[in-house]
Chains A and B, each alone.
Chain A
Amino acid sequence: MPITREEVAHLARLARLALTEEELDRFAGQLDVIISSVARVGEVAADGIPPTSQAVPVTNVFRDDVLVPCLGAAAALDQAPAAEAGQFRVPRILAED
């Protein structure tokens, strides 16, 4: 099932990517080819096969509840695109979450 231009536009919105009209067309075509190809995984009979999300199985890795030195506000803000009053200054946020 080919991926439509609208679907690509939706994906771009979800992923916060402002695509041009030309890019939408081009990516739609390329993604279509790629998705058709990767969809081949559907050919594999996998009933009852557990998924693997971690190649090397390990469990229960923890750290102790012990303080570790922080970066410090100066270092944290050093690379900020904009800062004010010791905080990161960001453009107006549209909506509550």
Chain B
Amino acid sequence: MDGELTRQTAADLAAAMAAGEVSAVEVTQAHLDRITAVDGSVKAFLHVAAERALAAARAVDEQRAAGAPLGPLAGVPVAHKDVFTTADMPTTCGSRILAGWQPPYDATVTRRLREAGMIILGKTNMDEFAMGSSTENSAFGPSHNPWDLDRVPGGSSGGSSAAVAAFEAPLGTGTDTGGSIRQPGAVCGIVGVKPTYGGSSRYGLVAFASSLDTPGPLARTVLDAALLHEAMSGHDPCDSTSLDAAVPPVVAAARQADVSGLRVGVVTELGGEGYQPGVMQRFTETVELLESLGAKIVELSCPHFAYALPAYYLIAPSEASSNLARFDAMRYGLRVGDDGVRSAEEVMSLTRAAGFGAEVKRRIMLGTYALSSGYYDAYYGKAQQVRTLVIRDFEAAFEQADVLVSPSTPTTAFRIGERADDPMAMYLADLATIPSDLAGNAALSVPCGLAPEDGLPVGFQIMAPVLADDRMYRVGAAVEAALQRRWGHALIDEARGLDGAGR
């Protein structure tokens, strides 16, 4: 039955298809039906590629029938963030300036999904050019949290997160620059992972902040996330910053789920004031849970983490101001004001004013400011020094702990519109996630409960050293398994926001 198929994990769907119990076409159709039923409310998708998806599913079924060797996720549907280029679907990055843009090439991550036999259901909504924590900065309207449709699904990968949480897809791709996978994962009650920087190729990922952008998986279970992580990752010669190292054995680690003897560091600076009490409560309980599972808990201070947010809001906009300069109406995308008399400079300015939203404009100007002569040393230069200090804090901390933990984000999902007029308030959503983006190490968010005051999901962040991604999967899997035992079901099963919407 369709309802059952969409409630399955990616691992289970893959196994069922491999065993011949169900076809890829049936699986894809079930998810397309689910999208039809609920996406009017969730608004996770900007573009649904139904025909292509079914064609791809048919191809997988034919290959399987012919006995061709297929990967572990063959036939599994995936919701693909609209920041990745797709040669057969539009790529808008949530922006009017790219409305309808049809790239002539696939991103490497897109190619890897296809080569793995996964079925791209469509492109998901996002904050414009990945700048935001709620999808409210999308030029095409926000997505809605399946737990409560009046609330944000987080951002910038809010569309993929909502799609997975709404059972529209078992897997979703996202990108994390300041927390844009982990925070939406946390507020939607699912798993969101930021791999080690460079672990997954940025070729074809429309750049926001080049030294921070990291593609990663969103899924309802730790194992599913690990499976997608492996499929998405690997060295890419087209990306000079791509890691030339083997993908850490994250799937094996996800199956291991054992933390006995592991040193777990609680970072003092990532918690307490500014964090919702219910969030802190669930976090603390999860730490105690880890201790009961055999982990050793240590309290650690990373003093420069307090400066991570301002450093990030200098580095990221600076790189973005340069990365977004190419949107100038000359070669592709929106062109406004070309009346045959206006100059190229004027057309550029009018187009960018019409095509970019307010947050993007703010960050472009902030970045332009931070890089301008006379200000570079005090702002961009200083921020890069803070970055060094954050890295050193991590190095020191990882000498005393194998993983570091914190709440993923200070609050549960806020209401749509609640922070729209207050950029600084919006930025605070990234408090706990930003340090790992600056340092490039691996971090994930795993659901750890519902906040008592509002019944909304809380995420537990686990950080591991560079290239030790498997370690955080091990801990994440242990937490997930223990909580599942305690509750008797997965947390996501409690999401009620779509009741009546064709479950």
Using CB atoms and an 8 Å cutoff, list the residues of chain A in contact with chain B.
Answer: 3, 7-8, 11-19, 23, 27, 30-31, 33-35, 37-44, 46, 49-56, 58, 61, 63, 71, 75-76, 78-82, 88, 90-94
Contact = CB atoms under 8 A, between A and B. Distances in A.
A12 B385 CA distance: 27
Contact of B347 (A33, A38, A41, A91): A91
Contact of B333 (A34, A81, A93): A81
Interface in B462-493: 466
Contacts of B349: 13, 16-18
Given A41-B314, A53-B384, A78 B102 contact: yes
9 contacts: A11-B365, A15-B321, A30-B362, A38-B313, A53-B211, A55-B212, A55-B466, A76-B104, A93-B345
B384 A42 contact: no
A40 B307 contact: yes
A43 B311 CA distance: 11
Report the contact-size class of chain B (Cβ under 8 Å from the partner).
35 or more
Contact of B424 (A34, A49, A58): A34
A50 B332 CA distance: 39
Contacts of A49: 385, 388-389
B243 interface: yes
B372 interface: yes
B310 A39 contact: yes
A13 to B, nearest CB: 8
Given A18-B349, A37-B310, A54-B211, A92 B362 contact: no
A80 to B, nearest CB: 6
Contact of A40 (B310, B350, B384): B310
B332 A41 contact: no
Interface string B384-397: 11111101000000
A6 to B, nearest CB: 13
A59 B334 CA distance: 37
Contacts of A39: 310, 378-379
Given A33-B424, A34-B423, A46-B386, A94 B345 contact: yes
Given A31-B365, A91-B344, 6 more contacts: A17-B349, A38-B314, A41-B310, A55-B391, A56-B196, A91-B343
